[in-house]
Amino acid sequence: MTPWMRAALVLLLVPASPISAGRAQEPSGVIAGRVTTTSAALLAGADVRLSRVGPGPTGPSVRTAVSNERGAFRFDGLPPGRYIVSGSSPGYTSSQPAPAGVAPITVDVSLPLGYAAGPSMLLSEGEQVLGLEVMMFRQATIAGRILRPDGTPAPGLSVFVAHNTWSGQTWLAQPPATSEWDGRYRVTGLPPGRYKVAVNSPDLPTQRPLTNTFYPGVDDAADAEPVTAIEGISTEGIDIWLTPPRRFAVEGRVYWGVGLAPQDIAIEYGDPEGTHSAAWIVSDPGGLFTITDAPPGTLVLLARADSDIGPLAALATTEVTVDRVYDIALTLDRPGRLSGRVTYEPGVDSTVRPLTLRQTLLRTTALYRVPTSSIDEAGGFAFDNLLGEYAFELAGSPPGLGVTRVLRSGMPLPDGRIRVAGGERVTGVEVVVGPTP
């Protein structure tokens, strides 16, 4: 055997190095700390989330823990990489403004994009980061109303919140708030800071089909007024007027008879076409009111109140053509009553169904229930506390079946509508039910 062959055989028989044959070293990085509030309180029971940002070794990219009674948390066995620690607890958020000129790291789409979800760090091999503090802020709220250019509430519109960040204006990534039937909206879960509020809404028919209007009622974000959201406090009255703003005021007084003591006076107002609808609470003890967001055109005002003799109501109309209308008088009186019977055309199922009334002078708000009456076995019905003009509707009727005509003393009523004055007792009404187009 030649010398070089003997050397090769020796190399083959030498055992492999323990380093190359053994298992790879287990990750040993540690991130630990505590959850605190801005008032230096330790927050127990908070959900702590550790997220690895960007590319890294295989394994879970998100780990979770719960802070103990001392607010402490700990994550062991971490591979090297960049991490962000965020916290959540009912009424709190750990998101916070990113330092000036520093791009924030956001890993949760429910957080504002221009805010850091929490402290971040670059963890090296085997490094232990101890004493990390995750600061929790009490959530702030921004609330107000969305109003059309004529001053009436605008329901069903999307409200967005933005703030000035390291890269400019950035919108919240979470779903927007939606204005309710009375135009009110509420954006919750915000970190403290300065925000801009905007509504994305249909515009006037002659303009663009979709546009943003910024608080308080401008179409350019540069002209928007910033809103300060303070930690743990609700910022109210942030009303947005859809451009172009047109505000009209209607002033007057609600009157009542001697000896009466009305309570909870409210005025529902709107136009006869049902385009606008809103309510105004009368807080002045003398009955004075000033409606500051009245729509232009014919305006119907329906006042209602409670008293020791039962419900009271008043009705008036006016024409809104100038900036301010004065001296509207609404005199409360006992409302009227309506009774009659339901009859059915031949071959129509006469199963008992509730009968409802729809106010036709204005579209009423959700402040009061729609008048409803049951129908007895003889077809009789009765409604109390009515004032104004009403149309009959059959609740729960199958398709193709409804009210075909309305008669009083055998005479048909135009459009099937009935008028009830204050204190009036309307009787002898016949509501005919049959097939409808």
Question: What pLDDT band is residue 252 in, cutting at 50, 70 and 90?
Answer: very high
What pLDDT is attached to residue 113? 42
pLDDT surpassing 80 at residue 300: yes
What pLDDT is attached to residue 246? 63
The order of strands in the sheet holding 401-408 is 380-386, 336-344, 425-435, 401-408, 411-412
H or E stretch including 236? none
110 vs 118, residue with greater confidence: 118
What pLDDT is attached to residue 205? 35
**CA separation (Å) from 82 to 26, 49, 55, 93, 119?**
18, 14, 9, 21, 11
pLDDT surpassing 80 at residue 153: yes
Residue with tokens 């014919």: 298
Q: Are strands 81-89 and 47-53 parallel, antiparallel or unpaired?
A: antiparallel
What pLDDT is attached to residue 304? 97
What pLDDT is attached to residue 140? 85
For the four alpha carbons of 377, 383, 389 and 391, in that order, the dihedral sign comes to: negative
Q: Which of 211, 101, 215 is nearest to 162 (CA)?
A: 215
What pLDDT is attached to residue 183? 92
- Respond yes or no on whether the N-terminal peptide bond of residue 285 is cis (omega within 30° of 0): no
Kindly report which listed range (135-144, 198-207, 239-248, 279-288) carries the lowest average pLDDT score.
198-207
- Ordered by where they begin, the domains of the chain are 29-137 (2.60.40.10), 140-241 (2.60.40.1120), 249-331 (2.60.40), 336-435 (2.60.40.10)
The rounded distance, in Å, linking the Cα atoms of 71 and 219 is 46
The rounded distance, in Å, linking the Cα atoms of 81 and 53 is 8
Q: Are strands 336-344 and 355-359 parallel, antiparallel or unpaired?
A: unpaired
The Cβ of residue 275 has, within 10 Å, a number of other Cβ atoms equal to 14
Give 90's contacts (C-beta < 8 A, 6+ positions apart).
none
Residue with tokens 């702590």: 48
Indicate the average pLDDT of the chain: 82
Question: What pLDDT band is residue 1 in, cutting at 50, 70 and 90?
Answer: very low
Q: Are 221 and 213 in contact (CB under 8 A)?
A: no
Q: Residue 47, Cα to own-chain centre: how many angstroms?
A: 26
pLDDT surpassing 90 at residue 191: no
Asked whether the whole model's pTM tops 0.75, one would answer no
**CA separation (Å) from 430 to 61, 330, 344, 394?**
72, 31, 10, 13
What pLDDT is attached to residue 8? 38
pLDDT surpassing 80 at residue 417: yes
Reduced to 3 states (helix: H, G, I; strand: E, B; else coil), residue 222 is helix
Reduced to 3 states (helix: H, G, I; strand: E, B; else coil), residue 405 is strand
Backbone angles phi, psi at 268, to 5 degrees: -95, 135
pLDDT surpassing 90 at residue 279: yes
pLDDT tens track for 34-57:
998 887 788 999 999 998 887 655
What pLDDT is attached to residue 60? 56
Give 11's contacts (C-beta < 8 A, 6+ positions apart).
none
pLDDT tens track for 159-184:
888 765 434 445 554 567 899 999 99
Q: Which of 423, 426, 411 is nearest to 340 (CA)?
A: 426
Question: What pLDDT band is residue 110 in, cutting at 50, 70 and 90?
Answer: very low
Backbone angles phi, psi at 222, to 5 degrees: -65, -25
pLDDT tens track for 314-325:
999 999 887 789
Six-digit token string for 419: 């008028």
pLDDT surpassing 90 at residue 86: no
| Percent of the residues in the chain that have a pLDDT greater than 90, as a whole number | 41
Region 256-268: mean pLDDT is 94
The rounded distance, in Å, linking the Cα atoms of 200 and 223 is 16
What is the total residue count of the chain? Answer: 437
pLDDT tens track for 124-140:
888 999 989 898 888 88
Rounded to a whole number, what is the distance in angstroms from the first to the last CA of the chain? Answer: 111
What pLDDT is attached to residue 410? 87
pLDDT tens track for 362-382:
999 989 999 999 999 899 999
Question: What pLDDT band is residue 72 in, cutting at 50, 70 and 90?
Answer: very high
Considering 90-104, 306-320, 391-405, the range whose residues carry the highest mean pLDDT is 306-320
What pLDDT is attached to residue 108? 40
